[in-house]
Amino acid sequence: MTVTGSRGSLPEPATVRGRFRIPQSVLGYALILLPLVVMGTLILYPAFLSIADTVTEHSPGGSLQVSLADYVEFFNTPLAVRNLAFSLRITAVTVAVLFLAGFPISLYLRFTHGRLGNLIQMLALFPLFVPGIIAAYALIRFIGDNGWLERFLHLLFGYEGFTSPYLRPAGIVVGLAWEGISITVLILTAGLSQIPDSLLETATDVGANRWQSFWRITMPLMKRSVLIVLTLNFLTVFGSFTIPYLLGPASPEMMGPYMRRTFYDANLPSRAQVQAVITFLISAVISLLYVRSVVSQKVEEES
């Protein structure tokens, strides 16, 4: 489609554009070149360079050869393996917590209208408006020793057995769940809103009960949104740094803080590279699932 195409048979005004024009595709490529170059140099190049660096080594003769020695070393380091397993465990728990908390909220928001629903939505989206570093600080005060949560439990229920999750594994889960709940609810409600009321009403008309229409209609139509939420949350949590660094224990630690310590404190960039590539490989399948479900959705919208 050209710019002038829809103007029918009106004569072309004598503009500069009319006499001399660059083909639209050339101009289009020229305009999008810059961000593509930035993405290539700042995302793809570093990632592939690290992969290349870590699977090769210089032989005594000076030539490059393929070697997986760096990875063998990683998996022979008990601390590294322990941190990796810890990261995966925290990630799995956080993704599950986010889904189990976010899905009921989204369902509630989809099927209720009115002021209560609006308030709940505002609260659920609130963390989106709190920068991560401020949220981390606030959560430390809230869940920490002698924090507000402990005081509440003490005054309301006389509960004395509170152990603060701050600087414990649970602290990471709390922090990441607090930060992630908004996006989870946002994506799930967006998915639910694409299910037309008429479809659910039809199901009720032909005698389906709430549970049946939920299981047979809502869930199948939600598959993609659920997949996007699970995969995106996995990538966000697994690749996180600030919350585990500030709220988590010093040992074991998640891959984020561990990689920074290797890079910065231990000053071993090449070993940090190996750790980073391992996080890439582990999330590769998840990334693929995420990108594929988003792409299929976008392509559908475009057509």
Nearer CB in complex with another protein: 61/229: 229
In degrees and rounded to multiples of 5, residue 62 shows phi and psi of 100, -10
C-alpha of 158 from chain center: 38
| Token output for 87 | 């990261």
Please tell me the total number of residues recorded for the chain in this structure: 303
DSSP letters, 53-85, are: HHTEEE-TTS-EEE--HHHHHHHT-HHHHHHHH
DSSP 126: G
* Minimum separation from the CB atom of position 98 to another protein (A): 13
Among 56, 67, 164, 287, binds another protein (CB under 8 A): 287
Is residue 94 at the binding interface for another protein, with CB under 8 A as the rule? no
How is the chain split among helix, strand and coil, in percent rounded to 5?
A: 75, 0, 20
Is residue 7 at the binding interface for another protein, with CB under 8 A as the rule? yes
Nearest one of 299, 267, 201, 238 to 89, comparing CA atoms: 238
Q: Judged by CB under 8 A, which stretch of 55-63, 65-73, 78-86, 185-193 contacts another protein?
A: 185-193
For the stretch 171-174, contacts whose Cβ atoms lie closer than 8 Å and that sit 24 or more positions apart, written own/partner, are 171/139, 171/143, 171/247, 171/248, 171/249, 172/90, 172/94, 172/243, 172/244, 172/247, 172/248, 172/254, 173/90, 173/93, 173/94, 173/97, 174/139, 174/143, 174/247
Among 79, 85, 100, 133, binds another protein (CB under 8 A): 133
Site for another protein in 240-269 (CB under 8 A): 240-242, 245-246, 255-256, 259-260, 263-264, 269
Is residue 126 at the binding interface for another protein, with CB under 8 A as the rule? yes
* Minimum separation from the CB atom of position 256 to another protein (A): 4
* Minimum separation from the CB atom of position 34 to another protein (A): 5
Site for another protein in 188-247 (CB under 8 A): 190-191, 209-212, 214, 225, 228, 232, 235-236, 238-242, 245-246
Nearer CB in complex with another protein: 76/301: 301
Is residue 43 at the binding interface for another protein, with CB under 8 A as the rule? yes
How many residues interact with another protein (rule CB under 8 A)? 116
Among 6, 9, 76, 198, binds another protein (CB under 8 A): 6
Site for another protein in 146-175 (CB under 8 A): 146-152, 154-155
